[in-house]
Amino acid sequence: MTQVPPRVAIAGGGLAGMAAAAALGSAGFEVDLYEARSFLGGRAASYPLPNSGEAIDNCQHILLGCCTNLRDFYARLGVEGKVRFDRTYYFLEPGGRRSQLRAAALPAPFHFLGSFIRLRFLSASDKLAVARALLAILRERNGRTDLDQITMLEWLKEKKQPPRAIDRFWRQILVSAVNEELDRMAACHGFQVFWLGFLTGSRNSEMGVPAVPLGELYCLEAWKRLPQVRLHFRTPVEQIVVRDGRASVVVAGAPQEADFVISALPLDKLRQVAPLLPLSELDCSPITGIHLWFDRPVTDLPHATLLDRTVQWFFNRAGGRYLLLVVSASRSLLELSRAEIIELAIRELAEFLPAVRQASLERAHVVKEVRATFSASPQAESLRARPETLARNLFLAGDWTRTGWPATMEGAVRSGYLAAEAVARAAGCPHRFLLPDPI
């Protein structure tokens, strides 16, 4: 590195921008991160509720043990201990019958074998069919070249999966993980979830749930470890201009001094501030979060996935009284009012948790994120942008860029690390930030 550290301007303080800032800041770069809002985190953030002031997450965010780069980012901020990992997945059928999928001490891919055989919501023939398809994932993962061109549903039909196995196993796990329906999801993403999350290292499948509101993971105290990173809140980047092949960010009407620029903006925002950049359009997929506060505990489970209904998950946020329900790829809810969504959520929840029928609802809050993530379809993969652009000092990050991952916190952090690596290369001091998959 030269004596005067290179300066990097980063637009956007979501996970992609924060990860790029943390990586470059720890490698000796001077970083200015510009965030339009008064807090960090973007789509993985918490904010105070208008009437109570209580901090809630926009929606439940979970990670898997295999999210190595996200965990590395948390470690850079010293907050990795604030995520709790759980080995058990609970499945509930309407009526309340429970099944558990729990990783045992056996080596992968056999660590789920015992609990998989005991699942009560699939028949023996369903389980045999699923096992055959899981083995096919191991076999076909490296050999097939069409997995980013076909949908996961096409692949499952090719493998003759029975309708109940598709609905209760494949759809139940994948729609939440990838935020897309099976008939719109590129098969490569379904493969990756099962291969990396469930068929390799036995700790890869552990479910990480932040034990604090998301905003606490990136609080100002944590950033004190990285003094080279300056955070500018309520400071929207108005334009990214390119002159003579060099980019700069315009803030409050003035171009800012920087050797390199990283855009970590969502695609639609980047199009607004840099309309001349050649960028492909990507479709979006919505997520709806439903926060319910009851007057008494309605469950003793920490979380569970709910079979055969609209609501896919609940997370127990406080002693069984405050539940956060999640519906991924929630197109069917977009036309419903908030009151209708709450009514549907309570009705469905009561089918799984009988205690809901006796409980009174004290408060409810619905978060409809219409543009929650890009749609991880077969068409999307080739349209996702690489970090490098036509301007030699401008690099792109964001969950929508080409990371190989669907739009997730891990994907966003990967994109930030990849953009940071591209900056380091361009500055003449190559650096490796991206960690390999834990296999």
Ligand X SMILES: Cc1cc2nc3c(=O)[nH]c(=O)nc-3n(C[C@H](O)[C@H](O)[C@H](O)COP(=O)(O)OP(=O)(O)OC[C@H]3O[C@@H](n4cnc5c(N)ncnc54)[C@H](O)[C@@H]3O)c2cc1C
Residue 263 binds ligand X, judged by CB under 6 A: no
Contacts of 309 by beta carbon, 8 Å cutoff, 6+ apart: 94, 348, 351, 352
Q: Residues 184, 186, 187, CA angle at the centre, nearest 5°?
A: 120
> Which one of 175, 399, 403, 421 is in contact with ligand X (CB under 6 A)?
399
CA 26 to mean position of chain CA atoms = 24
- Is 207 a binder of ligand X (CB under 6 A)? no
Omega of the bond leading into 109 within 30 degrees of 0 (cis) = yes
Of 65, 266, 320, 387, the one binding ligand X by CB under 6 A = 266
Single out the residue of 24, 56, 147, 287 in contact with ligand X (rule: CB under 6 A). 287
Contact segment (CB under 6 A) with ligand X among 13-21, 161-169, 314-322, 378-386 equals: 13-21
Q: Measured from the CB atom, is 134 or 397 closer to ligand X?
A: 397
Tokens 């939440």, residue?
A: 176
- E strands in 256-353: 260-263, 284-294, 303-306, 313-318, 322-328
Closest CA to 420 of 229, 216, 282: 229
Instruction: Identify the residue among 6, 8, 9, 16 touching ligand X (CB under 6 A).
Output: 16
Say how far apart CA 359 and CA 223 lie, in whole Å. Answer: 42
First to last CA, the chain: 33
Residue type, 322: Y
| Minimum separation from the CB atom of position 238 to ligand X (A) | 7
The answer to whether residue 217 forms part of the interface with ligand X (CB under 6 A) is: no
33 in contact with ligand X (CB under 6 A): no
How big is the CA angle at 217 (ends 215 and 220), to the nearest 5 degrees?
80
Residue 265 binds ligand X, judged by CB under 6 A: yes
Which CB, 64 or 133, lies closer to ligand X? 64
Applying CB under 6 A, the site for ligand X has a residue count of 39
State which of residues 372, 376, 418, 424 lies at the interface with ligand X (CB under 6 A).
372
Q: Does residue 215 belong to the site contacting ligand X (CB under 6 A)?
A: no
Smallest distance, Å, CB 240 to ligand X?
Answer: 9
Interface positions with ligand X (CB under 6 A): 11-17, 34-37, 42-44, 58-59, 61-63, 236-237, 264-266, 269, 273, 287, 289, 369, 372-373, 398-399, 407-412
